Amino acid sequence: MKLPATGADQAVGLGLVGFSLLLFTYYTLWVIVLPFVDSDHVIHSYFLPREYSVILPGVAALILLLCVGTFIGVVTWKNRKPKKVD
């Protein structure tokens, strides 16, 4: 049985899509466009130093892997069956 999405679900989904679009646009500008702009231009004040363009996604990937591994571990632990004693 498929339940229809409520207004709150749609609002949260729209918010997540908007946030993802904003983050993708910011990162694209930061990594692809900014190296071609003069370093003394005022637009550089809106972005972090370029070293963080590698560090932040790496940290985010590690956190994601940690969360996925923890989730799999918890689900596996809860679904294990006790050994039968003969």
Condensed to tens digits (0 to 9), the pLDDT of residues 9-36 reads: 899 999 999 999 999 999 999 999 999 9
d(CA 39, CA 80): 57
Looking at residue 76, its pLDDT comes to 94
CA distance 46 to 29: 11
- pTM over 0.85, yes/no: no
pLDDT band (50, 70, 90) for residue 86: low
